[in-house]
Every structure is written in C-alpha cells, then in structure tokens.
Structure 1
C-alpha cells in the first residue's frame, strides 16, 4: 500500500480510530450538502471497509487524510476507477473534508499528491473529477489542480434522483497537461 506525504498532509491507510470522525463528517448536512443524503453510521462503516479493501488489493484508492503536524484525521482524498454505469470511463480523483479543515488548502494539496501518484506511479494518461454542478467549492479545487471542464461533458448522474443535485460536471487533466504545469 502506498502512503503519500505532502508538506502538511499524510494520505494513508484507514485506522479504526478514523471511523468516529468519518461517521460524524458523513452525518454533517453541510459536508453532505452536495450529496443526496447524509450517511448512517452503518453506511459510513461500510464505506471505510470498502476503501481499505481497495487500498489493500490495489495499493491505491481513497486514502484517509491526516494533518501531519497534529495527527488529526480530516477526511479522504484519492483515486478510484469510475463506476461502470457512468457515461464515461477512467480514473477519478476526489476529496471530502471535515468542515473544520475547510479553507486551509488541504483539498488542493492532497489532490496534487493524488494526481502526482496517478500520473507518475500508475502511468495514467488522464485523470477525471466529478461533482454536482452546484458544488462550486469543489470545482474551484479542480481548476486549481489544472483540470478543465467542457460543458458538453456535463451529465445527469444516474445514481441521483431528479432534482438540483442530479446535474453533474466532469473535469479532466491529461498527463501531458499535468507535466507541463509541473514544470512552470
């Protein structure tokens, strides 16, 4: 299993001690504002089990995110293959942070580490990011990471019922564009 380090963050395997703060995050209506619902403790536990299984099996996936200076668990970041029923294929980058971690640049810093891993270690040709059209903060992170959006790629998420959260946007960055930005 790969563990990733940035100046301030550690992307690592999940620990039993992460389950409480992860469950609290997923029960927070503000953290889940761009998702159809908050998660139950059982759903949160199942997600952690799945994340850890992927990390163990593949060596990459959705890593737990920790502040190195304090050891505080603040959320997750990573890469995951796009679900089969989506209208596109590839590997997607993503992040979700506890409210206490918002506004510190952690999502961008961790996202950069995930992109670097995807392009340099996995040799991916492209990495995607998906969010609800209403999730402007996440889209801002995508742009800071050098990702771009073509409105022609926007889609209605088949997992979300009709309503304001169904419309989703797709951002992309190619390995070439990432490498060009890294040299600047």
Structure 2
C-alpha cells in the first residue's frame, strides 16, 4: 500500500504514525510555531491532539494529514481538515489548517499543501465550503488563505480564547467548489 493518500510536487500527505509524536511535540514547544496560540503545548497536550486527529480520521474519513517532504521523507507538520467544535454562526463547518516546522517556512510549502488539500477535499469529500481562520495578527497564515483563493467573510471573537487575550479576534475566510473552478480557469 502506498504510504501517501495524495501528494503535491514537494509534499506527501498521510495518516499519522507513532514516529510523528516526537517531532510534533517539538513543534508544540517552538515559540515561533506557537506564536498565535494561547500557550506552548506540553507533551501530554500534543499526544491528546494526535489522538483527536486520529479519531477525526476514523469518524469522518479525512483530517489533518501528517505531511512529509517528499525529497527526504521527513515529517514537517500537518495540513488538512478539521471540524471546529465550538459554536459560532459558521459552525459546524469544515476547516482547513496547517502547522509546519519553522525550519521549512518561507518556501511556499503551506500554500502548496493547502492547495493540494483543497483540491483533494472538494474532489473526494464534496465539501460545500471550506473555512479557515486565525488570529488577526497572524498575517503569514492569512496570506496563505489569500494565495489559495479564499475570501475573507468576517471577523469573530474565538470563543475558546480568553476575552482579555490579544489573540481572541480572528479573521474568517471561506472557499467553495465554484471558487476553485474559477481559479483553475485563470
């Protein structure tokens, strides 16, 4: 069986393996990676997140794909889909997100990977729409959203972030299947 569920020119997308735990734990302790999250992640919190990701895959058939550099086979983080569990006017929904090791930033990998995931998600899972959101300060992620053809549809206060936190205000982006078709014709 092929290791990857799908690939992009430089990335492979797969299910999580035990060997991903240590590098993902290190990412959760990297202040640059976690800059727009309320806190760094402990090893226990990282293990719990991996378990939630694996449960999401079993229940939905898709999730946050463990992502490797094809040239080396090295795990560099995740790109993929989740289902936000908090109540807002746009949930339930399918969210696309990414978290990559800071060592690979600035190479266009998040954009490349997110595009591949959008195409895979719309083709295989027929999502009506896909959303993405981040703290308003996270301009790097917001630029990825824009580069993959998403459109800003609002701002919201993230209900799981403390009201007194500078990270509570989030931008909200959305893309539909017809948006993807339009982009392919440009």
TM normalised by structure 1 equals 0.94
Structure 1: tracts of 5 or more residues without a match: none
- Using the alignment, how far apart are the partners of 2:4 and 2:125 within structure 1? 11
**What SS is found at the alignment partner of 1:154?**
strand
The answer to whether the Cα contact below 8 Å between 2:67 and 2:75 also exists between their aligned partners in 1 is yes
Q: CA deviation at 1:2?
A: 7.7
Report the aligned-residue RMSD.
1.5
TM alignment of 1:70-85, pairs within 5 A: 70-85=72-87
* Counterpart selection for 1:28 from 23, 26, 30: 30
TM normalised by structure 2 equals 0.93
1:69 corresponding residue in structure 2: 71
Q: Deviations over 1:112-171 (max 9, x none)?
A: 111112211111121110100000000000000001113xx2011110012210000100
TM alignment of 1:93-132, pairs within 5 A: 93-132=96-135
- Using the alignment, how far apart are the partners of 1:82 and 1:49 within structure 2? 15
- Using the alignment, how far apart are the partners of 1:45 and 1:83 within structure 2? 19
- Using the alignment, how far apart are the partners of 1:54 and 1:182 within structure 2? 30
Closer, same or farther: CA 92–2 of 1 in aligned 2, 3 Å: farther
1:53 corresponding residue in structure 2: 55
- Using the alignment, how far apart are the partners of 1:142 and 1:117 within structure 2? 16
- Using the alignment, how far apart are the partners of 1:25 and 1:42 within structure 2? 13
Q: Deviations over 1:31-71 (max 9, x none)?
A: 10000000000000111112122223322101101001101
- Using the alignment, how far apart are the partners of 1:4 and 1:51 within structure 2? 18
The answer to whether the Cα contact below 8 Å between 1:13 and 1:64 also exists between their aligned partners in 2 is yes
The answer to whether the Cα contact below 8 Å between 1:2 and 1:60 also exists between their aligned partners in 2 is no
**What SS is found at the alignment partner of 1:42?**
helix
Q: CA deviation at 1:11?
A: 0.9
- Using the alignment, how far apart are the partners of 1:5 and 1:160 within structure 2? 34
Q: CA deviation at 1:29?
A: 1.0
Number of corresponding residues: 182
1:154 corresponding residue in structure 2: 155
